[in-house]
A and B are shown apart, each in its own frame.
Chain A
Amino acid sequence: DAGVTQSPTHLIKTRGQQVTLRCSPKSGHDTVSWYQQALGQGPQFIFQYYEEEERQRGNFPDRFSGHQFPNYSSELNVNALLLGDSALYLCASSLGTGGTEAFFGQGTRLTVV
C-alpha cells in the first residue's frame, strides 16, 4: 500500500517563474491538504481539496492555486515565484475533512533563485 507520494522531490526555479507540484494521496484517502514549511518552522496551511474543490484556505496569496483530480490526486501551482517561496512543500492526505489523522508525503524542496 503506497503512502502519500509527491513529485518532484527537489526543484530549482528562477524568480518570476511558475511551478507545479504533484501529490498522490494514500490509498483510500479522498482529501488532500497542502502545507508550506520554511526551515525551522512548522508547516503552514495553504489549502485543502475535497471532491475536486478547494474547501479551506490559509493565509496565502492568489499566486498559490491548486487542483484535485477525480482520482483524488492533487496539484499545487505557484505563479510569479518569489525568493520567499523557497520552502519544503508538504502534501497530507486524510479520509474526509473532519480533522482526522493526516499522512504526509516526503515533500518537495523548492528553491527559488
Chain B
Amino acid sequence: GQNIDQPTEMTATEGAIVQINCTYQTSGFNGLFWYQQHAGEAPTFLSYNVLDGLEEKGRFSSFLSRSKGYSYLLLKELQMKDSASYLCAVSFQAGGFKTIFGAGTRLFVKA
C-alpha cells in the first residue's frame, strides 16, 4: 500500500529556519509535492521534486531522496504568515497517475 508520514505539529521562531520531514512508502513513484494550506483555505503549490536533490525557490527549498523514500521542506527566515499546515503529497503510477496526501504538519511561528 501507499503511506506518507510527517510530523503532526512543529513550532519555530520568527526569523529562524525550520525543516519539515516527510517519509513515504509507495510503488510506481512519480514525484513528490509540497503544498501550503492556511486554515480554512485551499492548498497552494510550493514545490515538486521528481529527481533526487535540492530544489530552491526563494525562502523555501525542498529535498528528495528516492532511494530513502524521504523528503524535507526547508523554510528560511520564517515569518508569522508562514504559520500554516504543510502537506506532503506523492504522485505514483497505479494504472494511471494518482496523488495522495499526508495528514499535514501544522507549523506555528512565534514571535
Which residues of A are interface residues toward B (Cβ below 8 A)? 4, 33, 35, 40-45, 48, 55-56, 58, 90, 97-107
Contacts and interface: CB of A to CB of B under 8 A. Distances in A.
Contact of A56 (B35, B87, B96, B101): B96
Interface in B65-111: 87, 89, 91-104
Interface of B: 4, 30-31, 33, 35, 41-45, 48, 87, 89, 91-104
- Per DSSP, chain B at the interface is strand
Contacts of B87: 42-43
B42 A105 contact: yes
B16 to A, nearest CB: 25
Contacts of A55: 96
B33 A48 contact: no
Contacts of A33: 99
A-B pairs with the 7 shortest C-beta distances?
A99-B91, A42-B101, A104-B42, A99-B97, A99-B30, A42-B103, A43-B101
A13 B23 CA distance: 38
A102 B45 CA distance: 7
A107 to B, nearest CB: 6
A106 B41 CA distance: 6
A104 B35 CA distance: 10
Contacts of B31: 99
Given A40-B103, A56-B94, 7 more contacts: A42-B103, A45-B98, A48-B98, A97-B97, A101-B33, A105-B42, A107-B42
